[in-house]
Amino acid sequence: MRIAVVGASGLVGREIFEVLFHREFPAQEIFAYSTRRSVGEKIRFGYDQIEVEELKLEEMGEFDFIFSALDRESAKELVPRLKEKGVVIDNSSAFRLDPDVPLVVPEVNPDRAKEHKGIIANPNCSTIQLVVAIGPIHKEFGIESLHIATYQSVSGWGREALDQFNYEVEFVAVGEPPDSKGSVFPRPIGANLIPKIGEFGDDGLSEEERKLQLETNKILESEIKVFPFCVRVPVRIGHGEAVWLRLKKSASRDEIIRLLESSPGVVVDRDYSTPIEIAGKDEVHVGRITETEEGVFLWIVADNLRKGAATNAVQIAEILKES
């Protein structure tokens, strides 16, 4: 198979190469493309190094799969043209809510991938880990509403954000206020919390919070009332989510545990996992499962660069190559 990764030099692009190699995806030829400023960089693919080429659509051949790790604006322009070169699995938010573009999490709605018209959207990182965990619960018991508070790592904002965080931490380590001039964040992120991810809308919700509402219901084909609150936290990799579910049918803690233990892509923790412990893993960890009279509480954590982006994208390609 011929594979291309567009936006290859960013955090997600590099992680896609890592996942392709470790999952032994049958790529006989694999190419890395990016903007002019990244041309010549080397991307690790197993024991090999792949040189980044400048993205020139007119010079690209045809591919079985094209993984896009472009930002939203670049994806809006380029992905419709890239699909003429091969099936595009897009990690941006550009097409997620397009009714003609399937939004796919393989553990939850794999068959939707086969309905594509050249583009398949990878959901938002925080949405992916949420629906992997709650999808089986919704199918078995029904979910009336959910409240979710997310604690999202800086790598979710990209390579520049991670560099900024590492820079600010140097100031924090010596007891000085972080230098956040020119930062991609609205406030300092070193040793700080920022309750804003994306711009606020007229309803007071941030872009990230709106994604959780809309993407969750598109994937689950549901009308769940989603009440989100998203916070950027000073963690390099890994998102945590505190979730409270109000179910349509009552379920005991033991029933939830048994259900999740038999669900694909889920690891049930008898206590809990933290971001530092799940970095580099492909599974979604669910812990602190607590039953109350009003519903069920869950703590959900996953690597946002792996299952929250690269792994999910590669799993989509695995579905299609078998179909």
Catalytically active residues, by annotation: 125, 239
Q: Is 179 within 8 Å of 167 (Cβ atoms)?
A: yes
Give the whole-angstrom CA distance, residue 124 versus residue 116. Answer: 18
Burial of 229 (0-12, 13-18, 19+ CB in 10 A): middle
Give the whole-angstrom CA distance, residue 239 versus residue 208. Answer: 13
Residue pointed to by tokens 């809308």 = 201
Contacts of 249 (CB under 8 A, 6+ apart): 141, 142
Give the whole-angstrom CA distance, residue 287 versus residue 270. Answer: 6
SS3 content of the chain, % helix, strand, coil (to 5): 35, 25, 40
| C-alpha distance from residue 13 to each of 6, 27, 28, 125 (Å) | 7, 16, 18, 14
Give the whole-angstrom CA distance, residue 17 versus residue 30. Answer: 9
